[in-house]
Amino acid sequence: MKFLYLLLLCCSGLLSAQKVDSSFIECKYLTTFLIDTANINTLKKELVSLKIGKNYSLFRSDIKEKADSLANAEIDKSISNPTNGIAVINTGNLVHAKYIPEVYYMSGMAIIYDKILNVTYNYEAQEKAKWDFVNETKIIQGYTCKKAVGKYHHKTIIAWYTKEIPISEGPYTFKNLPGLVLEAYDSKEHFHFTLESLKRVSKPILPLERTVNTDYEKFAKKRAQIFNDPIGAFIGIFGKTPSKAHQETMIKNIRSINNYLD
């Protein structure tokens, strides 16, 4: 499939001015998540890595990291060789991640990257989980973990953290506990993160480039608008009306993605 790059470079919110940090630990979480809350068959699994450095961390799907690297190479190639003055991106050979959100964390501030249709946005997380400590323990990957329960937006989050690794980090934005979070999930288990491995590794920690800067309120509003009016959103982005033969499928596909952690 081919699509136009649509001026994304002109409105990118680049954070590349930040100093490059390197990880000293990489945690891999098996992430299970439901794409459509009305369809249990949309339950997916992906490995998502949390790279932790001295000043920064990055939570990102392994598949997405590979896909973004390939996509950026394809974009650079297309910009260098435009067709009739237009950069056309060929996505046919690219791998596609299902778990899209990623979190770039620095100095207590979490920047969330998320996608609406074919555009990736970045915004500062406005809310942190407010944790209450529970007198329960369990063993995860050989570490003794303690339980915390928090509210995040409208969800109840259960987190298991270990003081044996005294790093206030964890998957997604579930941080600020007195130890590394090894497992976290919402009360309905629409999202579940479980530590698979932990190792010392040095890798660069960089924010995602070629994204559009916004805030959470605008992002959520745009996402709701597209959910409520998929055809209007398509026309607004591509400047044409999809054929009637494809409209029903398009509406179904867009509205089947309806489960978010925020």
Report helix, strand or coil for 40: helix
Within-domain flag for 112:
yes
Establish if 152 belongs to a structural domain: yes
Sign of the CA dihedral 253, 74, 96, 156?
negative
pTM of the model: 0.81
CA distance 222 to 247: 20
Give the number of other Cβ atoms within 10 Å of residue 111's Cβ. 21
In a domain, 45, yes or no: yes
Residue 139 lies in a domain: yes
From CA 258, how far away is CA 33, in angstroms rounded? 12
Query: The domain containing residue 241 runs over which residues?
Result: 218-255
In this predicted model, what pLDDT tens digit does every residue of 81-132 receive, in sequence order? 666 666 555 555 556 788 999 999 998 899 999 999 889 999 999 888 999 9
Residue 179 inside a domain? The answer is yes
> Residue type at 45?
K
pLDDT tens digits, 35-87: 999 999 999 999 999 999 999 999 999 998 877 655 555 555 565 666 666 65
- The span from the CA of 14 to the CA of 128, in Å, is 24
Longest CA–CA separation in the chain, Å: 65
DSSP string, 114-130: EEETTEEEEEE-----E
